[in-house]
Amino acid sequence: MQVKLALPKGQLQESTAALLEEAGFAIGDYHEGSRSYRPQCDDFPDILTKVFHEKDIAIQVAIGNYDLGICRLDWVEELLVKYHSDAVVKVGNLGYGKRSLYAVAASSSEAKSLEALESRSQSVRIVSEYPNLAESFALKRRLRRFQIFPAWGAAGVYPPENAELAIVAETSSNRLREQGLVPVATILESSACLVANRNSLQGKDLSRFLVALSCTDVGDIGVEEAVGVGAEAEAQRPVVGEPVVTLAVPDGHQQPHTVDFLNGAGLKIDGYNVGRPTARPRIGLDGVMVKVIRPQDMPLQVANGNFDLAITGRDWLRDHHFRFPSSPVEELLQLGFGRVRIVAVVTQDMPVSNTDDLRKLKRDSALRVASEYVNIADKYAHDNHLTPCKIIPTWGASEAFLPEDADVLIENTQTGSTIARHNLKIIDTLFESSACLIGNTEAMGRLDKREKISHLVEAMRRGVEAHPLS
């Protein structure tokens, strides 16, 4: 009987590969840096494996696409705290990848205890990659008014200027202190765990895995505990003071291009022009603060006034505007670099060559459209009357979803070579995207900000004109 196993990419990959090998299920081409999404278990051809972003694994197991999965407990709880499903069973703790989920404040913040936050009359802004656990935390702590900002990453960078709290995963509270953060509560202790689909556990023989992976019990999710403010933080963060203009610059793939562009525009940023940029690089302009965050998170952050300007992609701006049409964010400049096409992709075997064909295709079940761009995918499905349809949010490695776990993918591509390599084909180009400077329309009208914003925008405009990209 075929057993389907969902495996994590990223931090857990090496330990998971070692665990499987030790348990007698060595899986070729599943190791740190491997690019295969479907590594084979040579000794057991009936084991079907697929590699996912850790965050997707609990969801894939819960909906029954996979019998077993390995991911950290925090992602399982992030799913279960919102969707009280009994479809996913926490089978056991695998003992590695330990970390804790903390609610943290900046060490320079005045409100760095739960009591101070609970008594706060203004809204408490909470940033996290775990928005469901963040909401549950806020509700349990009876925070009167709060805002949850889901983030793709770098949540710890936000306090104190852009959030009162961040919910972050870290291996120790000392690591947080090094970043100028103070834990105010431990939300849960986490490590890699084996999860199973309940129906599979009830009806399929999974015993060889359950025995071989020798799990220990997974403890219940701990009630969060308040943490006393410890020794002075080693890295101090700035105290929130006079209004400054805040600029968000991207990490990840867009960082080197952005560095080149800013250098060309005469905007040198110390600490950004390196392999691993610091969270708060310095621009050397009075009253301008720069932070490095994920480009995906920028439109929402600019809309909320947490940042005045940001360098992101048009794709993410459009995804934001599809969800929040009246959002006060606009594109100020097209920067030209980082050109990609946003495309609809299916497998080579699917007998369609365009979206019209896709609409006419006879199906027995809802069309599954997977994408990191949830709102663009949703609009694509609506505009093209692809009905019935399910949108499946993904967190990377999206090509792996086709064809078993999705029918269509909305993805960005530069040359189309990755798509071709995975035996996929493009059936539609939704739009073209490249880097752009975005701004908050309200901030640009403020007297205390207008001049500095104009200065930055003009410098970038000159940069674009001096180094036009084809």
Partner 1 sequence: MKVPRCKGTRDLLPGDMAKFRQIEAQFRDCCLGWGYQEIRTPVLEYLHLFTSAGTLSPDMLGRVYSFLDWDGWSGERVVLRPDGTIPVARLYVENFQDLPIAKLFYVEDMFAFEGTGEESRERWQCGAEFIGGSRPEGDVELLSLALEAIARLGIAPVEIRLAHAGLLRTFLEGLGLRGEQEAGVLDQIFSGNVDVLVDIKGKNPELEKQLQLLFAMKGSSPSFVDNLRSVCAPSLPALEPSLDELARIASLLTGLGFGYRIDFTSGRSFEYYTGIIFGFHSMGRKLGGGGRYDELIPLVGGRSICASGFALYVDEFMDLVEEMPRRERILVKAKDAEGLRDSLEVARLLRDAGYIAEFDLGYKETGDFRWIVDMRGGEGIELIDQLSGKKRRESSPAELLRFLEGAGCK
Instruction: Give residues in contact with partner 1 (CB under 8 A).
Output: 84, 125, 136, 138-149, 300, 303-304, 320, 323-327, 388
Nearest distance in Å: CB 184, partner 1: 15
Task: Calculate the alpha carbon distances from 389 to 82, 210, 357, 358, 466 in Å.
Answer: 22, 35, 15, 12, 46
Taking only Cα atoms into account, the Rg of the chain, rounded to an integer number of angstroms, comes to 23
CB atoms within 10 A of CB 172: 13
Instruction: Tell me whether residue 198 or residue 467 sits nearer to partner 1 (CB atom).
Output: 198
- CA distance linking residue 307 with residue 286, whole number of Å: 16
C-alpha distances in angstroms, 167 versus 135, 141, 177, 320? 10, 14, 14, 22
**Shortest separation between residue 34's beta carbon and partner 1, angstroms:** 38
Pairing label, strands 124-128, 165-170: parallel
| 15/304 with CB nearer partner 1 | 304
384 in Cβ contact with 355 (< 8 Å): yes
Question: What gap in Å lies between CA 207 and CA 214, rounded to an integer?
Answer: 11
Helices first, then strands: H and E counts in the chain: 16, 21
Specify the residue, 122 or 207, whose C-beta has the smaller distance to partner 1: 122
| Contact between 460 and 437 (Cβ < 8 Å) | yes
CB of 123 to partner 1, least distance (A): 8
Please tell me whether residue 161 adopts helix, strand or coil conformation: coil
Report, in Å, the least distance between residue 363 CB and partner 1. 8
Only one residue has tokens 């004109």, namely 465
Q: How far is the CB of 168 from partner 1 (least distance, A)?
A: 17
Beta carbon nearer to partner 1, 147 or 384: 147
Nearer to partner 1, 92 or 131 (CB): 131
Please give the structure tokens belonging to residue 284.
Answer: 């050397």
Rounded to a whole number of angstroms, the minimum distance from the CB of residue 297 to partner 1 is 12
Q: Give the closest residue to 118 by CA, choosing from 164, 161, 159, 82.
A: 164
Smallest gap from residue 1 Cβ to partner 1 (A): 30
Q: Rank residues 44 and 322 by Cβ distance to partner 1 and give the closer one.
A: 322
Q: Kindly state the tokens that stand for 113.
A: 């205890």
Q: Are 144 and 164 in contact (CB under 8 A)?
A: no
CA distance linking residue 166 with residue 136, whole number of Å? 14
H-type helices in 312-403, by residue range?
A: 314-323, 355-360, 374-383
Report how far Cα 323 is from the mean position of its chain's Cα atoms. Answer: 17
| Nearest residue (CB) to partner 1, 151 versus 406 | 151
Nearest distance from residue 255's CB to partner 1, in Å?
A: 25
Nearer of residues 223 and 239 to partner 1, judged by Cβ: 223
Nearer to partner 1, 6 or 317 (CB): 317
Residue 191 in tokens: 């490590």
Closest to partner 1 by CB, 10 or 328: 328
| Distance separating alpha carbons of residues 34 and 200, to the nearest angstrom | 29
> What sign for the dihedral angle of Cα 15, 21, 24, 29?
positive
Tokens matching residue 336: 């030209």
At its nearest, how many Å lie between partner 1 and the CB of residue 183?
A: 19
- Measured from the CB atom, the residue of 323 and 455 that comes closer to partner 1 is 323
Contact by Cβ (8 Å): 386, 367:
yes
Q: Minimum CB separation from partner 1 for residue 302, in Å?
A: 9
CB of residue 104 to partner 1, shortest distance in Å: 18
